[in-house]
Amino acid sequence: MDLSDRAPEGRDEDEQKRSAHRPARDASTPPGGAPDPDPLRHVAAELVTLEASPEARSLLAALLTAVLSAFTATRSVRDALPDTAPGTAEEALAVLAGIDQLRSALGALDSLWQVRAADRIREADRSREAPEGEQGTGAPHEIALARRVSPAASSRSLAGARRLAAHMPELLEKLWRGAVTDQQVTTVMRALDGADPATCAQIDDLLAAEPEVLDGAGCRRLGSEVRALVQQIEPERSRERAEQAARGRHVTLTPLADGMARLSAVLRAIDGVAVMNALDAGARSRRAAGSQTSHGALEADLLVESVLAGADHKDAGADREDAGALRRPRPGLDVGIVITDRALLARADGTECARIEGYGTLPAHIVVDTLEGHPPGHLSADDLIEDEDDLDPDGTLTAFFRRLYTAPRSGELIAMESTARAFPTGLARMIRWRDATCRTPWCGARIRHIDHVTPVREGGPTSLDNGQGLCAACNLRKETGRMRVEPFSSPAGSSLTWSSPHGALGRSPTPRIIRQRAQRLDPAEDDEGA
């Protein structure tokens, strides 16, 4: 299946528009004709005449075999699809069970072909006489573009695929036959991170000898049991594994709905328990002092205050924690907010959105209310503080909210208001706020580097249009020349096209917000807003 002559993603824009608006056609319907009375036969006939290499035809045959097995020998229902009555609940359940079993078979093929792709990329690098230390290093990134996942997820997936294909043939066979789910295998692979190949092979034998261990096992229980097996097989490496795991401690932020976020921390177990006990004790103290806020919300507030202000929660009164939550010192906090003037000046109708650096999109009214001192979930200051003189003058909000403006029609960032005067610093901030996350397609990691799309050595200017925010790994991959990045413009907006040496493609549109509102504006308003 040769894709070397595939047209770049930035091909004829008119054809892309036609494709986007063309009515969807059922794959089983012959072009220009009525639906085939036997669509399955028609699709099979098309596959037989498909021009492809022998290996590609074998792959398609394997896929058809997996489909046939999934829907005729389905494991998780009493009756397979051919044995159910049309239009019944049994038929619907058989379809769902077959899809799930097919997903397992596809997971097995995916793992095998990830390994095969990485090996072929390494071989191609060797053929072009690349330095030995660089051979195959770009494989996870290229595979990430082809699979439409982040480079970090691709690296983890490739490592698990290698472990599965090379050292756990029994588990791979179970996955192909649908005896285990793709999620179960992913759990096992994560539990085996850092384990010796011999340990993986031994656990594979144990799982094959006791297949009931996998029956109905949820991911948490399965992962725990596999980690226990690793501990039993490799007790001498326990300290080494603990040291390596501790070096991987980190904190992540996951955006949630309605302006909320989940802050997750991977900590040493003892530290994590100590933090939770301290938050629990502080919340209980405030509840005992009369706070009406829920226990969980108080724990969250205490965590925020501890990090941002270092407040002493043991002596804090319960009558002021709600109203003063945004008035306590937050030294050095600088929050980038992308918002339209309509929302900021209350000219919106409630449909406007804003974007916060490091978080993403949220309703604009949350930002406006927060700036006005009454964020969601906090009691009114008038209800809790009788004497304004009781407020510490040093306890006023010290966070700086920088407003960035967008073009009304395209939603792209066009200007910023900031007290910063140094051009490189201000421009870097603007790029970071515009891009929000790493601009590599499917990545989404935190921005660490501000990069020139067209390098300076090739004449690229230091400008907003030629700048992009990248994580450290993606910037390194681009700088080594293993990825080609080119700007692409269309009436829909600007974007960057990333392409790998072996044909994987991905597009990263310039981030924008509020396209739905922008499309309702008149051209005159567009000119005025810009």
Would you list the DSSP string of 434-449? Answer: HH-S--STT--PPP-E
The closest alpha carbon to 143, from 126, 127, 162, 167, belongs to 162
Given a contact cutoff of 8 angstroms between Cβ atoms, the answer to whether 478 and 493 are in contact is no
Q: Is the pLDDT of residue 173 over 70?
A: yes
Q: How much is the average pLDDT of 254-282?
A: 89
pTM of the predicted protein model: 0.71
Helix (H, G, I), strand (E, B) or coil at 377: coil
Instruction: Dump pLDDT digits (tens) for 42-96.
Output: 888 888 888 889 999 999 999 999 999 999 999 999 999 999 999 999 999 999 9
Instruction: Dump pLDDT digits (tens) for 93-129.
Output: 999 999 999 999 999 999 999 999 999 999 999 999 9
The closest alpha carbon to 198, from 228, 166, 225, belongs to 166
What is the pLDDT, as a whole number, of residue 67? 95
How many CB atoms within 10 Å of residue 291? 23
Cβ contacts of 12-18, under 8 Å, gap ≥ 24: 13/490, 13/491
Cα 420 to Cα 67, 469, 514: the distances in Å are 60, 19, 27
Given a contact cutoff of 8 angstroms between Cβ atoms, the answer to whether 311 and 303 are in contact is no
The closest alpha carbon to 144, from 407, 489, 502, 432, belongs to 502
The closest alpha carbon to 395, from 301, 320, 316, 326, belongs to 326
Instruction: Dump pLDDT digits (tens) for 462-485.
Output: 888 888 899 988 988 888 777 889
The encoded tokens of residue 456 equal: 């300076």
What is the pLDDT, as a whole number, of residue 168? 97
Q: Write b or e for each residue in 149-178: b if 16 or more Cβ atoms lie within 10 A of its Cβ, otherwise e.
A: bbbbebbbbbbbbbbbbebbebbbebbbbb
Beta strands in 80-168 (DSSP E): none
For 200-253, the DSSP string reads HHHHHHHHHH-GGGTTT--HHHHHHHHHHHHHHH-GGGHHHHHHHHHTT-EEEE
| pLDDT interval class at 201 (50, 70, 90) | very high
Rounded-to-integer distance, Cα 438 and Cα 231, Å: 37
Q: Look at 271 and 17; give whichever has higher pLDDT.
A: 271
Q: How much is the average pLDDT of 398-403?
A: 46
Q: Is the pLDDT of residue 404 over 70?
A: no
Q: Is the pLDDT of residue 17 over 60?
A: no
Q: Among the listed ranges 189-193, 240-244, 341-345, 430-434, which one has the minimum average pLDDT value?
A: 341-345
Given a contact cutoff of 8 angstroms between Cβ atoms, the answer to whether 94 and 76 are in contact is no
The closest alpha carbon to 409, from 492, 344, 352, belongs to 492
Given a contact cutoff of 8 angstroms between Cβ atoms, the answer to whether 118 and 158 are in contact is yes
Rounded-to-integer distance, Cα 92 and Cα 99, Å: 11
Rounded-to-integer distance, Cα 247 and Cα 527, Å: 52
Q: Is the pLDDT of residue 280 over 60?
A: yes
What is the pLDDT, as a whole number, of residue 414? 54
Q: What percent of the chain has a predicted confidence (pLDDT) above 90?
A: 34
Reported as half-sphere exposure (CB side, CA atoms, 13 A), residue 330 has a value of 18
Q: Look at 21 and 149; give whichever has higher pLDDT.
A: 149
Q: Give me the chain's average pLDDT, please.
A: 78
Given a contact cutoff of 8 angstroms between Cβ atoms, the answer to whether 412 and 406 are in contact is yes
The closest alpha carbon to 213, from 191, 244, 193, belongs to 191
Which range scores top for mean pLDDT: 112-126, 299-313, 388-402, 422-436? 112-126
Residues 6+ apart with CB under 8 A from 447: 432, 435, 436, 437, 438, 469, 470, 471
What is the pLDDT, as a whole number, of residue 437? 86
Q: Work out the angle between the directed axes of helices 89-127 and 169-177 (0-180°, nearest 10).
A: 140
Rounded-to-integer distance, Cα 390 and Cα 26, Å: 70
Beta partners for residue 361, in sequence order: 355
| pLDDT interval class at 34 (50, 70, 90) | low
